[in-house]
Amino acid sequence: MKVPIHTIGDTPTPEYETSGAVAFDLRARQTTIINSKELGLVPTGVIIKTPPGYALMVYPRSSTPRKKGLLIPHGAGIIDQDYCGAEDEVLLQFYNFTEEAVTIEKGERVGQGTFVKIERVDFTPYNPEDKSRGGFGSTGSH
């Protein structure tokens, strides 16, 4: 699949680091400091035109929480197909859960992206009747 990409400045085009990798690495476009217990945005230096029928999903690298003390607060980021304009750089949002400020150096691999096939749906009303499972967290509580 060919995917249009625009890189900002001297940002390299993302690559799959091994032949078995299912996600490509995203690098920091600039050195970024995220203070303790705060959210920060790390620019990746790429604008990607996600193909129709796909979503671009972004995640931290598996080593990022252990090495840096950073988590993406919602677990993953969803990049929509129409987020591809001149100002639509892919940003990684991180929460610093450590007691110290964390520095992410320019060029450092901190995230990864993968394309996921999606399908839009048309919702239709229905009546759930009396088939309740018992609410949130009810699986296995019987």
What are the sequence ranges of the domains in the chain? 5-14+23-117
Give residue for tokens 């993302």. Answer: 14
Paired tokens of 111: 């995230």
Task: Kindly report, residue by residue over 18-57, the tens digit of the pLDDT.
Answer: 999 999 999 999 999 999 999 999 999 999 999 999 999 9
CATH topology of domain 5-14+23-117: Deoxyuridine 5'-Triphosphate Nucleotidohydrolase; Chain A (2.70.40)
Task: Kindly report, residue by residue over 65-91, the tens digit of the pLDDT.
Answer: 999 999 999 889 999 999 999 999 999
What pLDDT does 17 receive? 93
Residue 141 pLDDT level (bands cut at 50, 70, 90): low
**Per mean pLDDT, which range of 25-39, 53-67, 93-107, 116-130 is the poorest?**
116-130
What pLDDT does 101 receive? 98
Calpha distance 17→1 (Å, rounded): 18
Q: Which residues contact 35 (CB under 8 A, 6 or more apart)?
A: 96, 101
Give residue for tokens 């029928």. Answer: 53
Beta strands in 14-142 (DSSP E): 24-27, 32-34, 39-43, 46-48, 54-60, 70-71, 77-79, 91-96, 102-104, 109-117
- Is the per-residue pLDDT at 132 higher than 80? no
